[in-house]
Amino acid sequence: MKSYTPLITAALLSLGTTAQAQDKPLTEVADGVFHFFAMGYSSMVVIGDNGVLITDPSFTPRAELLKAELANVTDKPVTHVALSHEHFDHVGGTEIFEDAEIIMQENGIDVLKLSPLMPVPVVNATFDEISTIDLGGQTVELHHLAVADGVATTVARVTESNVVFSADLYMPQELSPHEFKEDTNFVGTSITLNTMVDWAPSYAINGHSSGNSVDALKENAEFLNALQTEVEDRFKTAFASGDPAAPWNLLFSISGEVEMQEYSDWKNYETAFPGYVRRMALSVLHGG
């Protein structure tokens, strides 16, 4: 697995991850709830009376670091590893927590079977729409609200403190390179982000940024709402034209036609925004 780390690091450098201040890898953000940020990836850590749940170990050296950091704050075992989705850069390192239940939304299992190169975990617990995990004094809800980034998209919420966790659904005032978005359903992403906003979280852990990102969650929900409206309106006009080819022709031209200048100061807007328009158009017209 170590040989993959430079690849992941290079990918993250190209993402230009926006770092908010976080002095140490493991930071307590609510009673018994920690934000672990290391090697460009975030995990949520929830310590209950009976055990510990972590999200997305991501890859083996990072999982080893998380295990070492955890030993400084608890002697309870990691009993649950919850995976945010099936993408291979998020699911590695589970073997470090050998006695834990490895949990993933059921849609992702068929994708893991197709990995020709990257190490993938043995998942031993799946769920459909929601899984509720009682850790003793802490309750973690795993929600699959829609297919979004990947097909097994899962967001987590701690019932008691209303801390939420998601991965690969947004960045703070930044668009991701289109290579990372080519299997993203933006209608599903919008549904997921808007639902998380409705939860009014106390703290939002984001898959690739350190620090609280509740504001970024809200801004990105608004951004996708505006983008979906813009794209849908153009397709409605194309359908209304009476030319049956018009919507399909629009699919090929729309990425060069839509602009949302109010987001032009977001990082990567110039290079990535056309890809977001194309993905939203495909999500609306084609289903994926």
Kindly list the residues in this chain that would bind Zn ion in the complex (CB under 5 A): 87, 149, 168
Angle at which helix 186-198 crosses helix 269-285, to 10 degrees, equals 100
Token pair recorded at residue 287: 């289903």
The residues, any chain, with a CB within 8 Å of residue 50's CB and separated by 6 or more, are 76, 79, 134, 135, 136
Tell me the closest approach of the beta carbon of residue 50 to Zn ion, in angstroms.
30
Smallest Cα–Cα separation from 64: which of 104, 22, 102, 36? Answer: 36
Nearer to Zn ion, 168 or 174 (CB): 168
Tell me the closest approach of the beta carbon of residue 108 to Zn ion, in angstroms.
11
Instruction: For tokens 């949990």, name the residue.
Output: 103
Nearer to Zn ion, 32 or 172 (CB): 172
Tell me the closest approach of the beta carbon of residue 166 to Zn ion, in angstroms.
11
Nearer to Zn ion, 87 or 278 (CB): 87
Nearer to Zn ion, 8 or 158 (CB): 8
Nearer to Zn ion, 149 or 219 (CB): 149
Tell me the closest approach of the beta carbon of residue 154 to Zn ion, in angstroms.
11
Tell me the closest approach of the beta carbon of residue 32 to Zn ion, in angstroms.
27
Tell me the closest approach of the beta carbon of residue 102 to Zn ion, in angstroms.
17
Q: Which conformational region is residue 255 in: left (phi greater than 0), alpha (psi within -120 to 50 degrees), or beta?
A: alpha
Tell me the closest approach of the beta carbon of residue 182 to Zn ion, in angstroms.
11
Contact assessment for residue 224 and residue 190, using Cβ atoms and an 8 Å cutoff: yes
**Distance (Å, whole) CA 135 – CA 156:** 14
Determine the Cα angle at 264 with ends 283 and 154, to 5°.
40
The residues, any chain, with a CB within 8 Å of residue 186's CB and separated by 6 or more, are 148, 224, 227, 228, 276, 279, 280, 283
Nearer to Zn ion, 152 or 284 (CB): 152
Nearer to Zn ion, 15 or 221 (CB): 15
Smallest Cα–Cα separation from 105: which of 52, 147, 58, 54? Answer: 147
| Residue 3: HSE in the Cβ half-sphere, 13 Å Cα cutoff | 3
**Distance (Å, whole) CA 151 – CA 280:** 16
